[in-house]
Structure 1
Amino acid sequence: MDDHRIFAESLAAALAAEPDVDVSAAGSGPAALRCLERAAGEGRRYDVLLVDADLGGHASGSRPAVPVQDGDEEGLVDGISLVAGVRAAQPAVRIVVLAEKDDARRAALALQAGASGWVAKDCSLSRLLTVIRGVLRDETHLPPALLTGVLRELTAARRHRTESERLVESLTPREREVLRCMVAGLGRKAVAERLFLSPHTVRTHMQNVLGKLGVHSTLAAVALARRAGVGPADLTGDVVERGSQLA
C-alpha cells in the first residue's frame, strides 16, 4: 500500500472541501513536477506548492506532493529538495513546507530555497488554510517557537556568505573564470581546452584559487563558491577568446 499517496490524497480531499480551493494530488516529487508541467501546457498555473520536508526525491522513500488551486489562482505540493528548482522555473509559485517536526536549520534552508512557510504536518486544517492564504498575500509563516532559531541560522548563513564573497573577490578575473569552470564540474584538461590555456597553466590557476580561498580541495572550493553565489560557467555559450587579457 502506498502510504505516501494515501497521505497526499487524504490531504487533497480535505482541502478540496473548501469552496474556493481546487486541489490535485501527487505521490512523489517527479509526479508533482509532471503535474506542474501538464498544467503549464494547458495554460494553467499553480499558486501554492505544499512541500513535504522529507520528500528528497528518493524513489522509494519519497513523501507525497499535493497541488492546490485557490479560486482563480493555483497551488502545488512538492519535495524540499525541489523547492529551489520550482522557484527558479516558476517564481510566482508560493511554497509551504510540511514537516514532521520543527527544525530551525531545515526551516532556514527551506526559506533560503524560496519557501514562504514551514508548518507542522499535524497542524489543524484551519491553520494550514490560514498559512496558504497568507502566503498568497506574500506573507511568510513560521511557528513562533522557530523564529529565534531560524533568524540565528539565517544570520550565520549570511555571515558565511559574506566571508565567502570576500575571498572570491580576492581572485583575479582569470581565476574567477577557472573557479566557475570548477563549479561546472570541469576537470583540468576540459578547463584548459575551454580557456585556450595549457594544462600546466590551469593547474597553476587552480592552485592559486585553492590558496586564496583557504581550502585544500576542489570540492571545498566549489562549496565555498556556491555560498558566495558563484554560478557555473555557461558550457553552452562562447568560450573565452584566445589571447584575452585575462590570460
Structure 2
Amino acid sequence: MDVLRLLMVDDHQMLTEALAARLSGVPDLWIVGHCATADRQLGEVVVSTRPDLITVDVEPLGTSTGRVIERLRELRPSAAVVVLSGVRDVGQAVDAARAGAAAWVPKESTVEELTTVLRGVAQGHAWFPPDLLGAVLRELREDAERAGDRGGPLEALSDRERDVLTSMVAGKRGAQIAAELAISTETVRTHIRSILAKLHVHSQLEAISVAGAAGLRAEDVAVPRQNGNGAG
C-alpha cells in the first residue's frame, strides 16, 4: 500500500490538530506536518517534509490565494495542492484553479469525503464543488479564448497525449483512460504531466478549458494505439 505524505497549511491550529488526529487513522495517509499560512518557515517545512499532498486554507489569503498556491507548487512541484477552506468565494476558487490547485474541499465535508478527494488528486484527478465548478470552468475557458490561440496549443501534443486529453474532456479518470487506451496508469499520469507542460497550464481543469476553446470535444473518442511494448 502506497502511503501519501500530507502537509496541512492552516491558521486554525486547534481545528487542524483535531483533523490531523482523525486523519491519522487513515492507513494510507501520513500527516508529515502542519503550519500557518503566514509562517516564515513555510518554505522550509514544505521542502523538509516532502509532501505528496498539501492542503491549504485560503480564507486568510484573500487576493494572495493564487500567489501562495503557486509558491507551494514551486517549492514542491510533485505535490498536489488541495484547498481545504470554510469560504466559498468564486474569485478565490478561480485564482486557485489558475495557480494549479487540484481540488477545493469545503471544511464541512466529512473525513471520508476529504480522504476520497485526497486519494483522487494523488492519482491525477481534480475536484471542485458543483457550486464553484461552473464559474471556474467558465473563467478558465475565457482565459483560453482571450489568449487568441484556439487551434495552436493542441498542435504541440502527440497523438497519444491528444487521446488522453480527449478522455479528460469526457470526464474520464486515470484508471479508465488507462484501460481504454491499453496503457498503464503511470503512463497516463506521465502523459498528463506532459500535456500540462505543453499547454503551459497548471491544472487539469485549465487543460480541459484550453482543449474546449481549441475545439476538442468529448465526442472525439480516443482509439487505442498499440506500440511495441504496450505502453503509450
TM-score range, shorter chain: 0.5 to 0.7
The residue number in structure 2 matching 1:94 is 80
Query: 1:136 pairs with 93, 117, 122, which one?
Result: 122
Measure, in 2, the Cα distance between the counterparts of 1:144 and 1:7.
Answer: 25
Alpha carbons 1:8, 1:27 under 8 Å: kept: no
Which of these residues, 57, 61, 70, is aligned with residue 56 of structure 1?
61
- Could you tell me which residue of structure 1 aligns to residue 168 of structure 2? none
Structure 1 residues 82 and 143, CA, compared in 2 at 3 Å: closer, same or farther?
Answer: same
Aligned with 1:46 (options 51, 61, 67)? 51
Of residues 65, 69, 75, the one that matches 1:83 is 69
User: Taking structure 1 as reference, are residues 95 and 20 closer, same or farther at Cα in structure 2, changes over 3 Å only?
Assistant: same
The 1-side partners of 2:133 and 2:69 are apart by 21
**TM-score, structure 2 normalization:** 0.53
Q: How does 1:141-156 map to 2 (within 5 A)?
A: 141-156=127-142
Equivalence for 2:44? 34
What does residue range 196-207 of structure 1 map to in structure 2 within 5 Å? none
Find the counterpart in structure 1 of residue 15 from structure 2: 7
Aligned residues: 139
Q: Distance in 2 between matches of 1:103 and 1:46?
A: 26
Q: Distance in 2 between matches of 1:162 and 1:103?
A: 28
Output the CA distance in 1 between the equivalents of 2:58 and 2:75.
Answer: 20
TM-align CA RMSD: 2.8
> How many angstroms apart in 2 are the aligned matches of 1:46 and 1:33?
12
Structure showing greater relative contact order (alpha-carbon pairs closer than 8 Å, 6 or more residues apart) = 2
- What one-letter code is carried by the residue in structure 2 that aligns with 1:32? L
Secondary structure in structure 2 of the residue aligned to 1:95: strand
Return structure 1 stretches of 4+ with deviation > 3 angstroms: 159-163
Partners of 2:66 and 2:107 in 1: how far apart?
A: 14
CA 1:159–1:8 in structure 2 vs 1: closer, same or farther (change >3 Å)?
A: same
Shift, 1:96, TM fit: 0.3
Paired residues of 2:84 and 2:105 also in contact (CA < 8 A)? yes
State the Cα distance separating 1:134 from its structure 2 match: 0.4
Decide whether aligned partners of structure 1 residues 120 and 11 sit closer, same or farther in structure 2, where only a CA change above 3 A counts: same
Residue identity in the other structure for 2:36: G
How far does residue 94 in structure 1 lie from its aligned partner after superposition? Answer: 0.2
Which secondary structure does the structure 1 equivalent of 2:12 belong to? helix
- The offset of 1:161, in angstroms, is 4.0
Map 1:65-84 onto structure 2 (within 5 A).
81-84=67-70
Q: Percent identity?
A: 32
Q: Distance in 2 between matches of 1:29 and 1:8?
A: 15
Deviation at 1:27, TM superposition (A): 2.9
**Does the aligned pair in 2 maintain the 1:97–1:117 contact within 8 Å?**
yes
- Higher Rg: 1
1:174-185 to 2 correspondence within 5 Å? none
- CA gap of 1:95–1:19, structure 2 versus 1, over 3 A, is same
One-letter amino acid matched to 1:97: V
- 1:109: how far off? 1.2
